[in-house]
């Protein structure tokens, strides 16, 4: 009995410690506390290995502090924003985003072939530098094509840097990586498998998808690099979203990529002015938002989603493959729907991960009973992470609307203040609706016992992992 009391006391101390450490993430805290109570000591070990965020906040603190000091204004084209838009942009800046800056030309992509054609064409025409940062680069035809372009540009004397996430990519084509390095290009991984085995950082992925060409043109997207993302994988047609930005906002994305590159490779190019060449190219205002485990409680991407829901009164249209909005976002979306706004969400009708399908539907149920309309997409897989509101507020990027993107992953989005781009996004959304069916509360409530258990398990594990 004495050992049982000791174990119980230790477990209680561990749970209380976790409650304090995860005060920034109360949603996941409850679930980890249940696991630690159900599986004493072992639950705490699992929490340390997979769930904790306090070590990540400490481990990435130096990265965060250095990058905060490096925030600089680009050429002063002004934001061109007024009223509510100016208020929102300032809030996003104070929460860790870049300043909003005008003078940009922006193109929205909703078709994979068009996106990859333009991305590769821009890279092939590069004259100064190519910076590429992707969560996944597949070892297939599309991945090899990217690497071959980088090799050719490196041989031409360009500065070429490729950064991938070790867990997401796992392995690149060794022959082409060797060839790229021999040509003068450089490749790095964000963390290494061998050092992650016993490290809590294994849950902190670099999920960003950014390409910067000549410091002038930036592609920000939800697309990884591979055949699958051109519709050649098991899901068939792949629906994603991206934005191409040309103008002074490019400098902020350049800085983010170079800061991540420095963290991963120890090569410091952040202050190398030759990489920053953003010049006025249009009249659209763009604001970079980014987030990661180094920004607890002040994630500018989370603030971006909340701000869009807060600012819009007529309509909010959201697309996300992983639906798990935070409590503030849930209540704002519910409030807007109850006020009569047209709030719609598109999610996949299939899950690309084991626990996604029923977790999405649980989150959908929390919105639908307030009048939010949720649709299931049937034409392949929808991977786009977008939000468009009131014909003006636009969000495109790598961040899903779920706990992992808000608390664990390094993410990067574009906040675009533009009626023209909003019209393009709304047109694409309406086209997607033609390939959707409405998911209802009646359908959710009709789940059988096994499906209800899957829902519980999916919801539990979604916040844990």
Residue 157: strand pairing partners: none
**Same topology for domains 104-282 and 300-464, yes or no?**
yes
Kindly state which CATH superfamily the domain 300-464 is placed in.
Endonuclease Chain A (3.30.870.10)
pLDDT value for 292? 83
Report long-range pairs for 17-23 (Cβ below 8 Å, ≥24 apart). 18/44, 18/47, 18/52, 21/52, 21/53, 21/54, 22/52, 22/53, 22/54
- Cβ contact 373:315 at 8 Å: no
pLDDT value for 40? 74
Overall CATH class of domain 104-282: alpha beta
pLDDT value for 298? 75
Residues with active-site annotation: 207, 209, 214, 383, 385, 390
pLDDT value for 61? 61
pLDDT value for 191? 78
**What CA–CA distance (Å, rounded) separates 134 from 387?**
22
- Cβ contact 231:237 at 8 Å: yes
Domain-by-domain residue ranges, the chain? 2-52, 104-282, 300-464
> How would you write the pLDDT of the chain (465 residues) with one tens digit per residue?
566 666 566 656 656 666 566 655 656 666 666 666 777 766 666 666 666 665 555 556 666 556 665 655 555 567 889 999 999 999 999 998 999 999 999 999 999 999 999 999 999 999 999 999 999 999 999 999 999 999 999 999 999 999 999 888 888 888 999 999 999 999 999 877 665 555 555 578 899 999 999 999 999 999 999 999 999 999 999 999 999 999 999 999 999 999 999 999 999 999 999 999 999 999 999 999 998 877 656 789 999 999 999 999 999 999 999 999 999 999 999 999 999 999 999 999 997 676 789 999 999 999 999 999 999 999 999 999 999 999 999 999 999 999 888 888 999 999 999 999 999 999 999 999 999 999 999 999 999 999 999 888 887 666 555
Helix axes 26-38, 449-464, angle to 10 degrees: 110
In three-state secondary structure terms, 107 is strand
């Amino acid at each position: 009995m004495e050992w049982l009391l000791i174990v119980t006391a230790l477990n209680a101390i561990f749970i209380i410690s976790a409650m304090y450490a995860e005060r920034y993430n109360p949603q996941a805290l409850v679930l980890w506390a249940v696991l630690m109570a159900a599986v004493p000591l072992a639950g705490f070990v699992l929490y340390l290995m997979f769930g904790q965020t306090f070590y990540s906040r400490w481990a990435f603190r130096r990265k965060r502090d250095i990058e905060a000091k490096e925030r600089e204004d680009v050429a002063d084209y002004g934001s061109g924003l007024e009223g509510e838009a100016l208020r929102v942009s300032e809030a996003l800046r104070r929460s860790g985003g870049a300043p909003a800056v005008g003078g940009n030309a922006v193109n929205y992509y909703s078709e994979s072939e068009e996106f990859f054609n333009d991305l590769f064409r821009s890279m092939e025409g590069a004259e100064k530098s190519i910076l590429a940062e992707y969560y996944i680069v597949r070892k297939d035809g599309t991945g090899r094509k990217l690497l071959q372009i980088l090799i050719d540009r490196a041989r031409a004397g360009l500065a070429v840097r490729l950064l991938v996430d070790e867990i997401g990519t796992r392995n690149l084509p060794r022959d082409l990586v060797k060839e790229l390095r021999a040509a003068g290009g450089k490749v790095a991984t964000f963390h290494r498998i061998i050092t992650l085995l016993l490290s809590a950082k294994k849950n902190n992925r670099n999920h960003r998808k950014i390409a910067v060409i000549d410091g002038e043109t930036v592609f920000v997207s939800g697309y990884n690099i591979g055949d699958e993302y051109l519709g050649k994988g098991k899901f068939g047609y792949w629906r994603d979203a991206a934005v191409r930005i040309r103008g002074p906002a490019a400098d902020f994305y350049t800085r983010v990529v170079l800061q991540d590159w420095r963290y991963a490779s120890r090569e410091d190019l952040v202050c190398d002015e030759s990489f920053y060449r953003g010049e006025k190219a249009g009249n659209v205002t763009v604001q970079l938002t980014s987030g990661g485990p180094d920004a607890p409680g002040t994630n500018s991407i989370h603030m971006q989603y909340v701000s869009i829901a807060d600012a819009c009164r007529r309509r909010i249209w959201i697309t996300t493959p992983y639906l798990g909005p935070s409590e503030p976002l849930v209540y704002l979306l519910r409030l807007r729907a109850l006020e009569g706004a047209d709030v719609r969400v598109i999610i996949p009708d299939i899950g690309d991960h084991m626990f996604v399908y029923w977790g999405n539907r649980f989150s959908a149920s929390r919105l639908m009973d307030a009048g939010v309309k949720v649709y299931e997409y049937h034409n392949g897989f929808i991977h786009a992470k977008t939000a468009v509101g009131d014909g003006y507020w636009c969000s495109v990027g790598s961040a899903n609307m779920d706990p992992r993107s808000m608390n664990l992953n390094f993410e990067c989005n574009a906040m675009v203040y533009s009626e023209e781009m909003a019209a393009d996004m709304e047109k694409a959304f309406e086209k997607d609706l033609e390939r959707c069916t409405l998911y209802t509360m009646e359908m959710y409530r009709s789940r059988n016992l096994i499906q209800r258990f899957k829902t519980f398990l999916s919801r539990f594990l979604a916040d844990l992992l």
